[in-house]
Amino acid sequence: MTGEIGELNPPPRLLMGPGPITCDPRVLRAMSTQLLGQFDPAFTAYMSEVMALYRRLYQTENRWTFLIDGTARAGIEAILVSLISPGDRVLVPIFGRFGHLLCEIARRCRAEVVSIEAEWGAVFAPEQIEAAIRQHRPRVLAICQGDTSTTMAQPLDEIGAICRRHDVILYVDATATLGGMALPVDLWQIDAVSAGLQKCLSGPPGSSPITFNQRVVDIVNARKHVEAGIRPPDYVAGNGAPIQSNYFDLAMLMDYWGGSRLNHHTEAASMLYAARECARIILAEGLEACFARHRTASVALSEGLTAMGLTLFGDQRNKMPNVTGVMIPGGVDGEAVRRLMLDDFGIEIGSSFGPLKGRIWRIGTMGYVCRKENVLHCLGALEATLRQCGVRAPPGVGVDAALSVYRTAETKPA
C-alpha cells in the first residue's frame, strides 16, 4: 500500500497570498500535542485559558469569547444564525467579496437583507453607514473590518457608537485582520466579532475565535432550545424562534464553554491547541508591537512595488496593513506570473475575484510571514519574474526601497 501513496512531503513554499499563510512552527508543534478527553479537568482548563487569551486579543471583557470549530465562515455562521431570527432586517455595507458573503449567509438565516455598496478599492464614510441605518432601520449591521478581496480596511471606530444610537446590533468579520490591526472590541462598542486562524494569527484554517457581549447573549438566550437527551432538570426553553443550526447554536455553545459544561460537539482538541498557541505567540510579542510589524511590512512592500514602477490598488488611506493589492501591468498574464513565482521561487501570491479577477495580485504579509526577509525575497522574486515576462525595472530598486523602509524603522527609538 505505502508504495502507491507516498508520505506527505509537500514542496517547501512561502505562502504570501491573502491566506492561508505559512504557519508558525510553534503552532504546528502545539497541534501534535496528545489529546485529552474533552471534560478532563486539564482540558477544560485549556479551554478557559483560550477564552482568557482571546479576550486579550479582542481587547474585551466579554465573558463569551471562545472557539467555533470550523474555518472562519463557521464563526460568521454561528453568530449570524444565532442572532438573526427569520424576518429580521440586516444591513450589510459591501466593499468586496466578503461583504457579499455576509449577505449570502444572512439570507440563508432568512433575514431580510439590505445592502449598500462601495466601489471595490474604497470603503464607507461613517455618515454613509448612518444614513443607510436611518433609511433601512435594520436590527443587525454586518460588516467586514478588512476585505481581503480588495485589500481595503473599513475604519470601525465610529460605527459602534452609531449602531448604539440607533439600537442596532453590530457584527464585525475580523477574519483577515485580528492580530494585524487594532480591534478594541469594547472601546469601539462592537457587539459580536469572529475571526480565523489562518491569517494574522499564524495558524492553520479550522478554528474561528469569536466574542460577543451581553446584548447578543440576551437575544440568543431568548431563542434557547437545548436538544433532548442533554437537557438539565431546570431547563426552560426560550420564547424566541429556535436557532436553525444545532452545530452553530451559540446558546448551547455557551453551556458547553461555560461552567455547566453541558455536552455538545466533541471539541476539536488539536485546533484548540493551535488557537491557544496562536494567541499566546501574539501576546508574548505584544499587540502593539505586532500591529507595528504589520504596518512596517506594508509600507516596505508598498514602497518596493512602487519603486519597481507598479501601481498599488485601491485607496491607500484605507489599505489593510497585512495584504497589498497591486495592479497587474498591461499585457502581463497575471496567472503566468503567479505560476513562475511558485515554480521558480516557491512563493505563493494571490489573485482576486469578481471585478478584480485578472486585474490585481494580492500579496500577504501576515503573522509569521510578516517579516523583513520575506518582503525582500518576494520583491526580488517578483522583479526577476516580471523581467522574464518582459517588464523591466532598474534591477534591485524594489528590494532597495523596501530595505530603506526597514533601516529607518530599525533606527527609530522604540
Interface residue with ligand PLP among 180, 205, 209, 367 (CB under 6 A) is: 205
Contact status, residue 61 vs residue 51, Cβ threshold 8 Å: no
Interface residue with ligand PLP among 38, 65, 71, 213 (CB under 6 A) is: 71
Question: Interaction with ligand PLP in 5-44: which residues (CB under 6 A)?
Answer: 19
The answer to whether 77 contacts ligand PLP (rule: CB under 6 A) is no
The answer to whether 85 contacts ligand PLP (rule: CB under 6 A) is no
Q: C-beta of 394: minimal distance to ligand PLP in Å? A: 35
Give the range of 71-79, 121-129, 234-242, 281-289 binding ligand PLP by CB under 6 A: 71-79
Number of residues that bind ligand PLP (CB under 6 A): 13
How do strand 146-147 and strand 152-153 relate by DSSP bridges? antiparallel
Total number of residues shown for the chain:
414
Q: Which of 112, 213, 166, 147 is nearest to 352 (CA)?
A: 147
The answer to whether 98 contacts ligand PLP (rule: CB under 6 A) is yes
Q: Which of 149, 54, 188, 107 is nearest to 351 (CA)?
A: 149
Report how far residue 162's alpha carbon sits from residue 129's, in angstroms, rounded to the nearest whole number: 8
Q: Which is nearer to ligand PLP, 19 or 160 (CB)?
A: 19
Q: C-beta of 1: minimal distance to ligand PLP in Å? A: 33
Among the residues of 232-310, which ranges form H helices? 250-257, 269-285, 287-307
Question: Interaction with ligand PLP in 117-176: which residues (CB under 6 A)?
Answer: 144, 147-148, 173, 175-176
The answer to whether 72 contacts ligand PLP (rule: CB under 6 A) is yes
Q: C-beta of 388: minimal distance to ligand PLP in Å? A: 29
Helix (H/G/I), strand (E/B), else coil: 118: coil
Specify the DSSP class assigned to residue 119.
P
The position carrying cell 485589500 is 151
Dihedrals phi, psi of 32, to nearest 5 degrees: -90, 10
Residue 163 CA: distances (Å) to CA of 139, 143, 160, 206, 368? 9, 12, 5, 31, 35
CB atoms within 10 A of CB 257: 23
Cα dihedral sign for 171, 172, 178, 183?
negative
Q: C-beta of 148: minimal distance to ligand PLP in Å? A: 4
Q: C-beta of 19: minimal distance to ligand PLP in Å? A: 5
Q: C-beta of 98: minimal distance to ligand PLP in Å? A: 4
Q: C-beta of 251: minimal distance to ligand PLP in Å? A: 23
The answer to whether 192 contacts ligand PLP (rule: CB under 6 A) is no
Q: Which of 183, 242, 186 is nearest to 214 (CA)?
A: 186
Q: C-beta of 72: minimal distance to ligand PLP in Å? A: 3
Q: Which is nearer to ligand PLP, 176 or 308 (CB)?
A: 176
Q: Which is nearer to ligand PLP, 113 or 307 (CB)?
A: 113
Q: Which is nearer to ligand PLP, 140 or 217 (CB)?
A: 140
How close are the terminal C-alpha atoms of the chain, in Å?
Answer: 57
Q: Which is nearer to ligand PLP, 84 or 323 (CB)?
A: 323
- Which residues would be at the binding site for ligand PLP (CB under 6 A)? 19, 71-73, 98, 144, 147-148, 173, 175-176, 196, 205
